[in-house]
Chain A
Amino acid sequence: MDDLLCKALGQLLEDQCKPQLVRAIEGGESPAEFWGLLEESGFADALVGEEQGGAGLALRDVFELLELCGTYAMPVPFAETMVARALLARAGAHPPTGSIALACGTAVDKAGLRCAHVSFGRVADWALIQRPTEWLLLSIADAQAFPTIYPLDATLVWGPSALAAARHVPAALDVQVLQACVTAAKLAGALMSVFNRTLQYANERQQFGRPIGKFQAIQHQLSVLSEHAFAARTAAQIGCQASGCVPEILRVAVAKARTSEAALEVAALAHSIHGAIGFTEEFDLQLFTRRLHEWRQTAGSEGYWQSELGKMLVNLGPGLTLDTVRAASDPD
């Protein structure tokens, strides 16, 4: 990874993606101004080929950029837009300006095309949608949007006339795999944020006359928390190991299964250590632990990806598990 790029995006987000911005956009404010800053930075085209005007980086080079989107609980689909633009450009479809949400799980009925619980569906400009044999790119402005479980998400319905305007793109892979890859990287960032915040809190919060981090029980909880965070971050890096912009499903399955598993453990430990203040609205921890739960579910929970991974392993036929472990964990 180009360290300078990473530092530049990190600084931009440190300055601009503050907790009050995350709260405001979650509360219904327009993300347009914030998105404008991101667009101006040029990072959204990092994965797009150089001949198409991008930076031509590989997925494995941008892991830390994707991770930063989780580190700052970014309330717009920036990581998703990065990979979607690259894949659209690769397919010869000129990527649109604006943000792109990823959508799997669609149904077609008389009303048109319905995508339930689209992650970032409320705040994105476009949706890249998985259909049985192809991708559709649709403008979210043309859809009817219904609130769903999470404030940044929406259930989107495109009527027949809107659907006629869809751009059809050959599918390079299942959108769910792409979303799982990106979400695992963002989970890594959010896990590390929760870890760092909890470590800091344990060093500052005094009880019984000393910082609670001096108590062995708290130290061991933090050790376990760090173990999960680091193992999950490694898994997320594995998920992004690809020399182009198309992730490998075996690695993605490892990444999403492990990060989702860690999300639950880390959120629980962080709240346990923080006590009551940690789950108040005004304390920032919740911005990150709520993301851990949301993203754990996005594009399939750990159980879904464990089953997928299990099928891949079982269907391989005789041979050592080691060879599958190597295929998943050796860097590209």
Chain B
Amino acid sequence: MSALNSLTLTAIPSEDEALRVPIREFLTQKMKDVPACVRARSWSGCDMNFSRELGRRGWLGLTLPKEYGGGGRSPFARYVLVEELLNWGAPVGSHWVADRQSAPLILKYGTEAQKQFYIPPICRGESFFCIGMSEPNAGSDLANVRTRATKTEQGWLLNGQKIWTTNAHNCHYMIALVRTSGTADDRHRGLSQIIVDLNLPGVTVRPIRDQSGDVHFCEVFFENVQLASDALIGAEGRGWEQVTAELAFERSGPERLYSSIVLFDEWLAFIRSEPGNTPESVRLAGRILAQIAPLRALCIAVTGKLAQGGSPVVEAALVKDLGTAVEQLIPAAIANDLYCRDTQAVPFELLLTLNYVTQVAPCFSLRGGARDILRGMIARGLGLR
């Protein structure tokens, strides 16, 4: 239990908190005319130009060293930035994965040449990444990966298929978990991470429409894709450890808490109006707030651990499991609240936003690790496995 016990209230340092002012000034202007049902897409919404503008302002790669084009700031600075972007519903999907985990991964495991090649364009908002983990037969059972990179004289020959790859159709590169030795029976052994240029011959990206009508994830096929030898990132055969460390970044951020916050704010504006205000809705508003506030404190505590160079995997799983539960509670409870009354009084935009969030909500507790996988990880952290 030691891992969880060490989470304590952590203050965001004032120099990092100060970043909120210019970011908010920018977002107030930028987002003022964007309707709620568009803002509700947040980190699923893509706008390359928006990403580039953030890059120009120095707000991408905030935690990366300046020598690679980053901001040289602490994880707390990035926390403040991301918290603002999410709460305003900014379209951050294009650069999201590259900024959150691909660039830190390349910084940690990459060669000097890889760092110089990949990181500066990420910080400019010109290079977008996706994560190739899931396969048709490797979802929660990630170690069952069958996509294989075989060593050749020129480098690696890649064959196989990835699926549910978020945003692959808008990305330049994929960091894929692939088998470089052994068979699926070898499980965690023999897996490696490779960087795949998605424009190479033999790569086919096929978007998949989700139930909301949006296209955000894809199937990606690799047919004899020839990769150079420096496509390997990190050590051969250490893909599993690398992916596991990456998950602490992937699971603990404020995006596991604020996916429904645009809807909540839109609903709250209605509850603040005279026709919207009922005792039940006021209580519901308090119920949600009472859940979000301590989770934010936990999120910041985990950020503090990352800032100290830790890899708080179990803590991140706990925050994500609880955070996504609130994210899913928001559309469910708001629907119940709004459809208790005569809906003619409810703004159409609010109902539209509710409908969108309701339809995407199932993925909140799937992306980045399904609920039951997270609970298994917590159980391991408790010493039960």
Q: Tell whether, in the assembled complex, residue A306 and residue B283 are in contact, meaning their CB atoms are under 8 Å apart.
A: yes
Say yes or no for A132: interface residue by CB 8 A criterion.
Answer: no
Decide: A216 and B277 in contact? CB cutoff 8 A. no
Check B297–A310 contact: CB distance below 8 A: no
Instruction: Determine if A330 is an interface residue (Cβ-Cβ < 8 Å).
Output: yes
Task: Encode A207-229 as 1/0 by CB contact (under 8 A) with B.
Answer: 00000011010111011101100
Interface pair B264/A321, CB less than 8 Å apart: yes
Determine whether the beta carbon of A307 is less than 8 Å from that of B289.
Answer: no
Segment at the interface with B among A77-85, A123-131, A252-260, A278-286 = A252-260
The smallest beta-carbon distance between B346 and chain A, in angstroms, is: 16
The 8 closest A-B pairs by CB, nearest first: A310-B286, A309-B286, A306-B286, A219-B379, A257-B290, A310-B282, A223-B378, A223-B375
* Chain A contact residues, CB within 8 Å of chain B: 196, 199, 202-203, 213-214, 216, 218-220, 222-224, 226-227, 230-232, 234-235, 237-238, 241, 253-254, 257-258, 261, 302-303, 305-314, 317-318, 320-322, 324-326, 328-331
Partner of A220, one of B287, B296, B298, B372: B372
The docked-state distance in angstroms from the alpha carbon of A254 to that of B290 is 5
8 A Cβ contacts from B69-111 to A: 83-84, 87-88
B32 at the binding interface (Cβ < 8 Å) = no
A240 to B1, CA, bound (A): 24
Residues of B within 8 A of A224 (CB): 375
- CB pair B297–A321 under 8 Å, yes or no, is no
Task: Return the chain A residue nearest B272 by Cβ.
Answer: A314
CB distance from B124 to the nearest CB of A (A): 28
Given contacts A235-B293, A237-B9, 17 further A-B contacts (CB under 8 A): A199-B382, A203-B384, A223-B374, A223-B375, A227-B321, A230-B318, A231-B322, A234-B301, A237-B8, A237-B297, A238-B297, A258-B290, A307-B279, A308-B286, A314-B282, A324-B289, A329-B300
The interface residues of chain A lying within 8 Å CB-to-CB of B289 are 254, 309-310, 313, 321, 324-325, 328
Q: Which residues of A contact B294 (CB under 8 A)?
A: 231-232, 234-235, 238, 254, 258, 329
Count residues on chain B whose CB falls below 8 Å from chain A CBs: 53
Chain B contact residues, CB within 8 Å of chain A: 1, 4, 7-12, 83-84, 87-88, 261, 264-265, 268-269, 271-272, 277, 279, 281-287, 289-298, 300-301, 318, 321-322, 372, 374-376, 378-379, 382-385
B4 and A230 contact, CB distance less than 8 A: yes
Q: Residue A213 contacts which of B269, B375, B384 (CB distance < 8 angstroms)? A: B384
Bound-state Cα–Cα, A218 to B375, Å? 11
Nearest opposing residue in chain A for B277, CB measure: A314
Q: Across the interface, which residues of B come within 8 angstroms of A305, CB to CB?
A: 286, 290
B265–A321 touching, CB < 8 Å = yes
Contact residues in B for A202 (Cβ distance below 8 Å): 384
